[in-house]
């Protein structure tokens, strides 16, 4: 382990263009439960209510979806960046960080103080709400307030269309602009650091693959093994906060 931390630190020191890829594991260390973990918020709902087709076609699915989402949003809103997020901010301050590509929708990287244009949210954000008909964007808190006065499910104030948190749901296409940007940065970076992602959700998980296949180094810090471990220079299965603090 000590050896791996030293090797990771040396890779970071000798790199000029680092791409960080983060998943749920970095947020669980801020107290945000992994969506899919047993006993999590999800296990009390029927996942079929969360498919885009059902959110659009069935008002009862939409209500269930909003109930789950509101519950989850309150947890995310209260969470704070942890030492792993803060270590990434220090990395940005050294001028070595090109971008953070995140699967997380909780804005913890923003709240750690990064320049917002360095953060690519490939699964969207829970902090905005969009209209599926006219594309109008609302602040989440504004919609939460309407829900708290009994407007459930909420509709667009402009066109009465269906409102949905600006996250990527099951059955919904990945945002093209963000994915293209992430892939381009992956092909240009000299080091990719994966934090808290099991790298099984595609196409998101392909981003570190683009980096390695273009000749970049790879560091993976995750609780469990990943399908890309065999291509990595450094793999540590431990707390992301602990290891990132030490490495950076």
Q: Indicate the residue among 97 and 131 with the shorter CB distance to Zn ion.
A: 131
Residue from 68, 129, 131, 220 in contact with Zn ion (CB under 5 A): 131
Whether omega before 13 lies within 30 degrees of 0, making that bond cis, reads: no
| Binding window for Zn ion (CB under 5 A); candidates: 45-53, 105-113, 123-131, 181-189 | 123-131
Judged by CB, which is closer to Zn ion: 1, or 159? Answer: 159
Q: Binding of Zn ion at residue 134 (CB under 5 A)? A: yes
- Catalytic status, residue 230: no
Binders of Zn ion in range 11-70 (CB under 5 A):
none
156 near Zn ion, rule: CB under 5 A? yes
Q: Supply the minimum distance, in Å, between the C-beta of residue 116 and Zn ion.
A: 25
Nearer to Zn ion, 51 or 155 (CB): 155
Block residue for tokens 């998943």? 23
Contacts of residue 36, defined as CB under 8 A and 6 or more positions apart, other chains included, come to: 42
Q: CB-hemisphere CA count at 13 Å for 52?
A: 11
CB of 156 to Zn ion, least distance (A): 3
Burial class of residue 178 in the structure, from the number of CB atoms within 10 Å of its CB (0-12 exposed, 13-18 middle, 19+ buried): middle
- Judged by CB, which is closer to Zn ion: 161, or 175? 161
d(CA 181, CA 99): 10
Q: Which of 94, 158, 171, 203 binds Zn ion (CB under 5 A)?
A: 158
Q: What is the dihedral angle through the alpha carbons of 185, 191, 196, 201, rounded to the nearest 10 degrees?
A: 50
- What is the phi/psi pair of residue 145, to 5°? -65, -40
Work out which of 34, 136, 144, 233 binds Zn ion, going by CB under 5 A: 136
- The dihedral built from the CA positions of residue 133, 139, 143 and 144, taken in this order, carries a sign that is positive
Residues of this chain that interact with Zn ion (CB under 5 A) are 131, 133-134, 136, 156, 158-159, 161
Which residues are the active-site residues? Answer: 123
């Amino acid at each position: 382990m000590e050896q791996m931390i030293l090797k990771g630190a040396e890779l970071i020191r000798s790199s000029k263009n680092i791409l960080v890829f983060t998943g749920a594991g970095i947020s669980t260390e801020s107290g945000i439960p992994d969506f899919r973990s047993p006993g999590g918020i999800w296990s009390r709902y029927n996942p079929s209510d969360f498919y885009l087709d059902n959110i659009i076609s069935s008002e009862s699915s939409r209500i269930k979806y909003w109930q789950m989402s509101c519950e989850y949003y309150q947890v995310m809103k209260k969470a704070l960046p942890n030492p792993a997020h803060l270590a990434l901010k220090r990395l940005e301050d050294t001028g070595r960080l090109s971008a953070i590509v995140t699967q997380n929708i909780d804005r913890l990287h923003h709240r750690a103080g990064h320049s917002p244009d360095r953060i690519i949210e490939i699964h969207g954000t829970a902090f905005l709400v969009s209209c599926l008909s006219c594309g109008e964007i609302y602040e989440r808190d504004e919609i939460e307030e309407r829900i708290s006065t009994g407007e459930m499910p909420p509709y667009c104030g402009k066109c009465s269309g269906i409102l949905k948190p600006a996250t990527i749901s099951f059955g919904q296409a990945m945002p093209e602009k963000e994915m293209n940007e992430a892939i381009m940065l992956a092909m240009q970076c000299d080091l990719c650091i994966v934090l808290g992602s099991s790298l099984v959700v595609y196409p998101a998980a392909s981003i570190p693959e683009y980096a390695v296949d273009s000749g970049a180094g790879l560091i993976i810090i995750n609780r469990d093994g990943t399908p890309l471990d065999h291509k990595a220079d450094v793999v540590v299965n431990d707390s992301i906060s602990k290891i990132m603090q030490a490495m950076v």
